[in-house]
Amino acid sequence: MGRGGGFGGDYGRGRGYGRGAGFGTSGTCVCQDCGHEVSHQRGVPCYTLRCPVCGGTMARKEVAFVLLEEKKESYKYTKPPKPQVDEVKCIGCGNCVRFCPFKAIELKDGIAYIDPNECRDCGRCIDVCPVGAIS
Query: Same domain, yes or no, for 36 and 50?
Result: yes
Residues 55 and 25 in one domain: yes
Helix (H) or strand (E) holding 27: strand 25-31
Enter the pTM of the model.
0.44
73 with 128, same domain? no
Q: Do 61 and 37 belong together in one domain?
A: yes
Q: Clarify whether residues 32 and 57 are in a common domain.
A: yes
Strands (E), 32-123: 37-41, 58-61, 63-67, 73-77, 105-108, 111-114
Query: Is residue 57 located within the same domain as residue 86?
Result: no
Domain that holds residue 100: 81-135
Question: Could you give the residue ranges of the DSSP H alpha helices within the chain?
Answer: 95-99, 124-128
Same domain, 61 and 10: yes
**pLDDT tens readout for residues 85-128:** 999 999 999 999 999 999 999 999 999 999 999 999 888 999 99
Shared domain for 91 and 130, answered yes or no, is yes
**Residue 85 CB: number of other CB atoms within 10 A?**
18
State how many domains the chain has: 2
Question: Which range, of 18-27, 64-73, 102-111, averages the lowest pLDDT?
Answer: 64-73
CA atoms within a 13 Å half-sphere pointing along the CA-CB vector of 111: 10
Nearest-Å Rg of the Cα atoms of the chain is 20
Are 117 and 96 members of one domain?
yes
Domain identity same for 42 and 106? no
Residue from 75, 22, 62, 63 nearest 44 by CA: 22
